[in-house]
Chains A and B, each alone.
Chain A
Amino acid sequence: MIAAVAGDAARIVAKDLRIERATGVITTQILPFGIVMLLLFGFGVDPALQVRGGDRSVLAEVAPGLFWITVLLALLLVVGRAFAVESDDGSLDALLVAGVHPAAILGGKAVVVAAELVVLELVVGAGAVLMFDVTIGDPLHLVVVMVSTTVALAGAGTLFLAVVAGQRGRDTLGPLLVLPAMAPVLIGATAAAGDALYGAGSGGIAWTWALVAFALLYSVAGIVGAGALLEDV
């Protein structure tokens, strides 16, 4: 049972990644979105502005928060796309009728979303280092923070947007469902990333553990809730 579900999920991942490669949406739309956000933050927060009494710019100081806000907004685009691929031509129904377990569909989607977010995070993160003068104090800690946050966001985003899958108005309702619920993840990811970058002790390793817990929570919730969300679409 579990092996079959995992196998189906893997096939959905492979299929969606093929679609992404063929359409190039991630490289031609999602990544440019991330880069535009970097520029906008530069316009919004003067890059020359220094933290009073510190040796960093304000922009570098707030970079962790801006980074995760960018990822959070990109999440909406990426998940919206993951479902649009299926529901626009009713292939979600086809998958279910073919006997694919709902958990395999949501799980597969979440993996694809996570993979796309990782690509975005690498590009935006590199941009932040280059353009915002961000320094990385503890790379290993940063990797743990990024992986757990990405899993939490991908899991929760897929779960919440499955609630509105195939519905009119999903593009505007999605943010209302996802963003307020993601406040704890944003708080934790910003504090933990700040810690990994600057070691400022803004909560220490505790937030990183919290992020790992969020990642587990939303993954489990997605798998458990999948059946109730997608059956009889």
Chain B
Amino acid sequence: MTSIAVPPSAPEHTGSRLTRVLGAATAVSWVVWLTYGLVLSPADVVQSESVRLFYLHVPLALSAYLGFTVTLVGSILVLRKNSAFWDQMAGAGAEVGLVLAGLVLVTGALWGRPTWGTYWVWDPRITATTLLFLVYLGYLVVRRLDLDAEVRARRAAVFGIVAFINVPITRYSVQIWNSLHQEATLSLTDTEMDGSQLTSFALGAIAMALFTTWLIIHRFRVGWLEYELDRSGLESAILERRGERTATEVV
């Protein structure tokens, strides 16, 4: 077991200087992004106000991929180094990514209703994102399996890697399948952006990425605490068992 110098006062929360700096940057960037995207920038000529959903939707999607990329990297390092640190990192990335991906679907549907007249179309991005959502939901359930921590970490890592490989395959397959069945529809990222829209979008992407990084660090620390609690619980249970056994042997 690694022993690390005990800090004089271990914090009783998951914040640190890093997260406070990131948190402050997140707050500032959100104010700038929301002010510009919702108030200062003009409505779109074609889409009118609903274009503002785009400033939220695409940054959410990019950040969801950021989370899933953390899961991929973490999964690879779990298999290479048997690292509990990266196992928790992979879990944090997937959970945050899943929350964001869920919001991608919600905001996409809300954008689709005024634009296409329906909440759901068999658009490749929407369809592939829904599948992606389900795959990572499965990943998180695997992480809750009642298994030895190391075995579970490795099994989840294999699934995490294969799941990520599946992302582009699914995306591409659905796109080709879709192109055979219907005319290309106006898609969120096909929109031609003018200057103010591009600015709103870029601000949103930065703001959401900062937020996501901040959140993944916090979620990782929560996961780490759970891991330590599990382990110390297990250890004390073993100690107790040993104590009982010695007691009976003595008798």
Contacts and interface: CB of A to CB of B under 8 A. Distances in A.
Interface of A: 159-160, 162-164, 167-168, 173, 176-177, 179-181, 183-184, 187-188, 191, 202-203, 210, 214, 217, 221, 225, 228-229, 231-233
Nearest to B168: A184
B249 to A, nearest CB: 29
B180 A183 contact: no
Contact of B135 (A180, A188, A217, A221): A180
* The 5 residue pairs across chains A and B that have the minimum distance between CB atoms: A184-B173, A180-B134, A225-B158, A177-B138, A176-B138
Given A181-B163, A225-B162, A233-B151, A187 B173 contact: yes
B53 interface: no
29 contacts: A159-B158, A162-B155, A163-B155, A163-B156, A163-B159, A164-B145, A167-B147, A173-B142, A177-B142, A179-B134, A180-B134, A180-B138, A181-B131, A181-B135, A181-B163, A181-B166, A183-B170, A184-B166, A187-B177, A202-B180, A210-B173, A217-B165, A228-B79, A228-B154, A228-B158, A229-B154, A231-B154, A232-B148, A233-B151
A12 B159 CA distance: 24
Interface string B136-165: 011001100111101100111111011101
Task: Give the most central of B138, B156, B161, B165: most A CB within 10 Å.
Answer: B138
A204 to B, nearest CB: 11
A229 B155 contact: yes
B180 A203 contact: yes
Interface string B44-84: 00000000000000000000000000000000000100000
Interface of B: 79, 131, 134-135, 137-138, 141-142, 145-148, 150-151, 154-159, 161-163, 165-166, 169-170, 172-174, 176-177, 180
Classify the interface of chain A: helix, strand, loop or mixed: helix
